[in-house]
């Protein structure tokens, strides 16, 4: 190793690879956790865009869901007193109520987006941005009004599933299992949702119709597929994923709410949709990549490359910590710029469908 590391210039690259290999096992479980809200947001985006609706409002749906979930969980917790968590995930009625509320709120906002973009035929990007602005404003106002005067409000978080140590110690398999399974219930379920949605999209009647409506809605209409109803259903059901993403933020990830805490994840999710070529598995891969860049940024702060990587350590120490903090944003821009021209989305995305043919 030292021989490789000693090569001028190239050695730094080898050192970097070595360092990445070194820190990756440590951050792996965090990666899936960080990826969860992005992947869930991406699933929401895929269900929307595959049926021909752009949803820029995922960010706002996530934020509103995070807030509402936190608030309701906290209030239920307050009224019920402390309840022993049930099972490996530490499920309490308060947390369950929070998750349910988060999902309902996100679905309501999705219904609003569906109405604006499908029935009213408002520009879909503007509708989405309006939802984001509204979410930021409303959660900020209600946070000040309801949560700030009540600093002890909160219902804790779901617990993380723990594998028996024998399993974790198993080479490679144990490590991968740890990465995907040592998670809270929402993050752990993401992989299931990804696979189910992938199969449904390409093997089921719903999937076929969704893909057709997103590509050529009039063709689907002429063979009796109800375009409007299918789009409504997809946009509203997709809200479940945005709601879960929001619930993850406050009820599984942190246990508290801050203004604007979705921090662009809804937009990163859209980049993941594009990078993953509008497939659930691809988007999940992209989400893992974005999450990895975030986790790597944290790892550098906690465990900077030390004496093992002499030159690399000097270089990386010279880079301001803010750069590591913004890695997900930088990576998102680079990926979008590099990939967009070559990946082509559903043809009818963003266009409202007018039923009556004219002339």
Partner 1 sequence: MTDAVRPPTLEMRGITKRYPGVVANDHIDLDVRPGEIHALLGENGAGKSTLMNILYGLATPDEGEILIDGTPVIIRDPNDAIDRGITMVHQHFMLVPVLSVAENILLGDEPMANPVFLDRRAAHVRIRELGRQFGFEVDPDAKVGSLSVGWQQRVEILKALYRNANILVLDEPTAVLTPQETREIFAVLRQLTSKLGTSIIFISHKLYEVLEIADRITVIRRGKVVGSRIPAETDEEDLAELMVGRDVNLTVDRGESHPGEAMLVAEDVRAADDRGREVVHGVSFTVRAGEIFGIAGVAGNGQDELVETITGLRKTTGGRLSLAGEPITTATPRELHEQGLAFVPADRHRFGLVLSFPLTDNFILNDYHAEPYASGFVRNDDAIRSRAEECVAEYDVRTPSTTVPAGTLSGGNQQKVVVAREFGRELKLLVLDQPTRGLDVGSIEFIHSQTIKRRDAGTAILLVSAELDEVLELSDRIGVMYRGELVAVVDAREADKEEIGLLMATGGKISPEATKVMAAELEQVS
Partner 2 sequence: MTTAKEAERRANAPLLRRILRLVAVPFVAVVGALFVGAIIITLSSLATGQLDLTLALRAYADLFQGAFGNLRGILFTIVTATPLILGGMAVGLGFKAGLFNIGAQGQFLMGALGSAAVGAWVGGAPPLVAVPVAILAGALLGAAWGFIPGALKAWTGAHEVVTTIMLNFIAGAVIGYLITGPLEAPGYGFSRTGELGNSELPLILGSTIHLGVLIAFLLVPAIWWLLSRSTLGFEIRTVGANPDAARYAGMHPAVLTILTMSLCGLLAGLAGAGQILGISHFMTASYGTSIGFDAISVALLGRANPWGIMAAALLFGAMRAGSGLMQIRAGIPIEIIDVIQALILLFLATDVVIRRALRIKAPSAEPTELQTATRSYGGTT
SS3 letters for 251-270? Answer: HHHHCCCCCCCCCCHHHHHH
Q: Which residue has the tokens 């000097």?
A: 314
The SS3 of residue 88 is coil
- Least separation in angstroms between CB 229 and partner 2: 20
Instruction: Identify what 126 binds: partner 2, partner 1, none; CB under 5 to 8 Å per kind.
Output: partner 2
Q: Does 215 bind partner 1 (CB under 8 A)?
A: yes
Q: How far apart are CA 235 and CA 173, in angstroms?
A: 37
At residue 339, the 3 state secondary structure works out as helix
- Please say which residue, 214 or 246, places its beta carbon nearer to partner 1: 214
Burial 189-214 (b: 16+ CB within 10 A, else e): bbbebbeebbebbeeeeebebbbbbb
Q: Is 222 a binder of partner 1 (CB under 8 A)?
A: yes
How far is Cα 359 from Cα 357, in angstroms, rounded to an integer? 7
Distance between CA 83 and CA 33 in Å, rounded?
25
Q: Are 212 and 58 in contact (CB under 8 A)?
A: no
Q: Closest CB to partner 1 among 111 and 225?
A: 225
For residue 231, state whether it binds partner 1 (rule: CB under 8 A).
no
- Residue 166 tokens, joined: 């024998």
Stretch that binds partner 2, among 35-43, 131-139, 219-227, 299-307 (CB under 8 A): 131-139
351 touches partner 1 (CB under 8 A) = no
Place of tokens 């993850």: 248
Residues found in the chain: 359
Q: How far, in Å, CA of 253 to CA of 260, rounded?
A: 15
CA torsion, points 336, 337, 342, 344, in degrees to nearest 10?
A: 40
Taking the complex as a whole, how short is the minimal distance between the CB of residue 277 and partner 2, in angstroms? 9
Q: Among 64-72, 87-95, 151-159, 323-331, which window interacts with partner 2 (CB under 8 A)?
A: 323-331
Here's the x/- map for partner 1, 159-198, by CB under 8 A: it reads as ----------------------------------------
Q: Residue 67 or residue 158: which is nearer to partner 2 going by CB?
A: 67
Q: What number of other Cβ atoms are within 10 A of residue 326's Cβ?
A: 16
Residue 301's binding partner out of partner 2, partner 1, none, with CB under 5 to 8 Å set by partner kind: none
Question: What's the min distance (Å) between Cβ of 42 and partner 1?
Answer: 20
- Stretch touching partner 1 by CB under 8 A, among 31-39, 129-137, 216-224, 250-258: 216-224
- Separation between Cα atoms, residue 115 and residue 67, nearest integer Å: 23
Residue 167 is a binding residue for partner 2 (CB under 8 A): no
> Looking at 267, 292, 296, 309, which residue binds partner 2 (CB under 8 A)?
267
The least distance separating partner 2 from the CB of residue 156, rounded to whole angstroms, comes to 23
Q: Does 124 bind partner 2 (CB under 8 A)?
A: yes
Q: Residues 202-205: contacts with CB within 8 Å, 24+ apart?
A: none
User: What is the contact surface with partner 1 in residues (CB under 8 A)?
Assistant: 200, 203-206, 208-209, 211-212, 215-216, 218-226, 347, 355-359
Q: Which residues bind partner 2 (CB under 8 A)?
A: 49, 54, 56, 116, 120-127, 129-130, 133-138, 140-141, 143-146, 263-264, 267-268, 270-271, 273-274, 320-323, 325-326, 329-330, 332-333, 336-338, 340-347, 349-351, 358
């Amino acid at each position: 190793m030292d021989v490789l590391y000693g090569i001028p210039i190239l050695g730094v690259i080898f050192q970097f690879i070595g360092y990445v290999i070194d820190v990756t096992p440590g951050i792996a479980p965090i990666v899936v956790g960080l990826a969860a809200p992005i992947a869930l947001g991406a699933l929401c985006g895929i269900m929307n865009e595959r049926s021909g609706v752009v949803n820029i409002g995922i960010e706002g749906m996530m934020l509103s869901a995070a807030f509402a979930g936190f608030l309701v969980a906290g209030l239920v917790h307050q009224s019920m007193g402390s309840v022993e968590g049930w099972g490996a995930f530490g499920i309490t009625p308060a947390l369950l109520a929070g998750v349910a509320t988060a999902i309902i709120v996100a679905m309501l906002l999705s219904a609003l987006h569906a109405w604006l973009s499908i029935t009213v035929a408002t520009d879909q990007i503007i509708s989405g941005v309006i939802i984001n602005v509204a979410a930021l404003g409303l959660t900020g106002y209600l946070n000040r009004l309801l949560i700030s005067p009540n600093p002890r409000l909160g219902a804790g978080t779901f617990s993380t599933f723990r594998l028996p140590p024998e399993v974790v110690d198993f080479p490679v398999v144990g490590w991968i299992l740890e990465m995907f399974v040592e998670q809270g219930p929402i993050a752990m379920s993401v992989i299931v949702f990804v696979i189910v949605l992938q199969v449904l999209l390409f093997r089921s009647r719903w999937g076929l119709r969704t893909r057709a409506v997103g590509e050529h809605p009039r063709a689907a209409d002429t063979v009796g597929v109800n375009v409007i109803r299918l789009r409504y259903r997809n946009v509203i059901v997709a809200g479940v994923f945005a709601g879960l993403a929001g619930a993850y933020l406050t009820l599984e990830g942190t246990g508290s709410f801050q203004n604007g805490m979705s921090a662009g994840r809804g937009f990163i999710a859209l980049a993941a949709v594009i990078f993953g070529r509008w497939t659930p598995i691809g988007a999940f891969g992209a989400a893992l990549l974005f999450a990895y860049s975030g986790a790597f940024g944290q790892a550098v702060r906690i465990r900077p490359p030390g004496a093992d990587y002499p030159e690399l350590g000097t270089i990386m120490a010279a880079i301001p910590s803010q750069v590591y903090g913004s890695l997900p944003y930088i990576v998102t821009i680079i990926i979008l710029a590099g990939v967009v021209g070559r990946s082509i989305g559903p043809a009818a995305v963003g266009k409202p469908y007018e039923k009556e043919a004219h002339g």
